[in-house]
Structure 1
Amino acid sequence: MMFENNFIEVIGIDDPSKFGTGEVDGFCYGRTLGEFLDRSEGLGLLALHSQDIDADFAAVKATGLPAQQRVEFRRQITTPDGKPDEAVVSLGMIMDKELGDASNFLCQQHRPEFIWRKDWQNHENGAVAVDEVVYVTPDLGLLEERWSKLFGMDRVSRVNGGIEADTGCGHVVALTSAQAEARFAAVGLPISYTDKPHGIALQIRVRDIAQTEKVLAENAAKYGRTSKGIAVTPDCAGNTIIEFVQ
């Protein structure tokens, strides 16, 4: 689901027997996804937008954060005018097993015109951007430290008892379990599969929240009202809370 400055990628596994066929130094992105789905549905890794993967990956390594492989994806495509071309994506893996599913990877789209198309950014529910990705963590300091290294200390702050960081393409938010339960009391939290930090919610900005609610009602989606807007229950959204705000 494409927006102007970020996107949501919905991923399913078609044939897990293919995991590892394109691995790089023992790493396979598909295998990582499969291991996540073995644990639970929900929010997986958060991709961080890069316009210079070499410089950004080197900068991350310089912070001392755990960093792994560079991975290149290439896919032959046919453009809308019928011409053959190639989509190329570079990833820089920055995984930390101690942080569970709150890890990240850098992502540079070398041919962004193939995915950031205006005709893919018009959504019936009026969605225009991912504003927040919300995590639950047993220790706020774990994500505060990581995000300070990733984004800079000046981009990380304490807000209403939680941690927020400005990624440049939206915010990441860390809450304790009690804080998350209070914020999303109207819809309940996703099924918890780990005691480590993990994502629980996406906050989506919309043009007209009345239109968004109309679309939800027409499609029999279960939702409740939060202090910020309306949120779809996690059992209707792949074990993830989807909160809409205007």
Structure 2
Amino acid sequence: MSAAATTLDHVGICAREAGPLHARFAALGFTLTPLARQSGPGGPLATGNRCAFFRHGYLELLAILDPALPDNGLGALLDRHEGMRILALGMDDAEANLRRLRGAGLPIPGIAPLARPCDDPQGRPARFERLPLPDAPEGRVQLVRHLTPELLWQERWLDHPNRVLALEEAFILSGAPMESAARLSVLAGRPLEPRPAGGVTLRLDHGAVSVLDAAGEFPDLPRPTLGGCAFRTGDGTAAIRALAPHGTALPDGSWLLHEAGAALVFRP
């Protein structure tokens, strides 16, 4: 067990209206799980998601389904803007990471449980443990431990028409990149290193998170924010180019899309 982040677990793209968000990503060739309502210790929440699971990591599409219920802070995130508002790093040991983060001076009250249905034939919910970084200006940045990973990474959800195989990198956009990088390093319990294209990168056992400054990539997106992510494809990006011909070719052969307030990079 490790008292540090281990993987890039998932990113969450958030909107107030679920239907258009889900329809857009289905049209981009993501195989989405059925709609699932979330719940917390106090009962049902206002939020629900559909997800695209990959061989490594996943993409969450989160929206408010019932504004009359508690929204677990999503409404406050959306008041600023829609887009990629969630970044979750995987962890093995919630208790050890809680002790580490409290030792670093972060006022984390405890481990936050979360559950949601997952289309399991036996009706079992997917269950998680969360350690959110308090007051992160970039969005909801957190550590997550999966208690029931076998219920989520089902083989039937892992093949996508756009040929995405893995969530490979997440991008934090910041006008004060060293401050954002320091918060990320404390949360992850790992050092960061210079990124050849500019900024700094947190490298994990699977995946990475990069912090970019205002003069770097994606200059049209707001800062500070979780600006977007990169996916690894299995076909050299041929499928996503056919599905979304409005994208932009990047010098390394990647295909860039701006969708739902987020930058999406599909890598060959």
TM-score by length of 2: 0.72
2:243 to 207, 212, 215: 215
The CA distance in 2 between the partners of 1:121 and 1:69, in whole Å, is 33
1:224 to 245, 248, 254: 248
1:3 corresponds in structure 2 to 54
1:178 to 215, 230, 255: 215
1:145 corresponds in structure 2 to 182
1:51 to 92, 95, 110: 92
| Aligned-pair CA distance for 1:57 | 2.1
- Offset from partner CA, 1:164-215 (integer Å, 9 cap, x none): 111333111111111124xxxxxx633x2xx5x2111211110111222122
1:189 pairs with 2:220: yes
2:147 corresponds in structure 1 to 110
CA contact (8 A) 2:56 2:165 kept: no
1:156 corresponds in structure 2 to 192
**Per chain length, whose mean CA-contact separation is higher, i.e. which structure has more relative contact order (CA < 8 Å, sep 6+)?**
2
1:61 pairs with 2:92: no
CA contact (8 A) 2:170 2:208 kept: yes
The CA distance in 2 between the partners of 1:106 and 1:93, in whole Å, is 6
Percent of matched pairs sharing the same residue: 22
Counting strand residues as a fraction of each chain, which structure ranks higher? 2
Question: Structure 1 86/56 Cα, relative in aligned 2: closer, same or farther at 3 Å?
Answer: same
SS of match in other structure, 2:244: helix
Question: Structure 1 120/41 Cα, relative in aligned 2: closer, same or farther at 3 Å?
Answer: same
| Aligned-pair CA distance for 1:137 | 0.9
Consecutive unaligned residues in structure 1, runs of 5 or more = 20-29, 182-187
The CA distance in 1 between the partners of 2:231 and 2:119, in whole Å, is 31
Consecutive unaligned residues in structure 2, runs of 5 or more = 1-51
| Aligned-pair CA distance for 1:102 | 4.5
Question: Structure 1 75/41 Cα, relative in aligned 2: closer, same or farther at 3 Å?
Answer: closer
- Offset from partner CA, 1:132-189 (integer Å, 9 cap, x none): 1112111221123223323345x411123311111333111111111124xxxxxx63
1:129 pairs with 2:196: no
List, as ranges, runs of 4+ consecutive aligned residues in structure 1 with deviation greater than 6 Å.
none
1:242 pairs with 2:248: no
The CA distance in 1 between the partners of 2:116 and 2:244, in whole Å, is 35
Code of the residue aligned with 1:14 in structure 2: it is L
TM-score by length of 1: 0.78
Cα RMSD, aligned residues only: 2.1
The CA distance in 2 between the partners of 1:12 and 1:141, in whole Å, is 31
The CA distance in 1 between the partners of 2:192 and 2:165, in whole Å, is 24
The CA distance in 1 between the partners of 2:184 and 2:118, in whole Å, is 36
The CA distance in 2 between the partners of 1:134 and 1:92, in whole Å, is 20
1:42 to 83, 90, 95: 83
| Aligned-pair CA distance for 1:77 | 6.5
| Aligned-pair CA distance for 1:43 | 0.9
The CA distance in 2 between the partners of 1:105 and 1:17, in whole Å, is 25
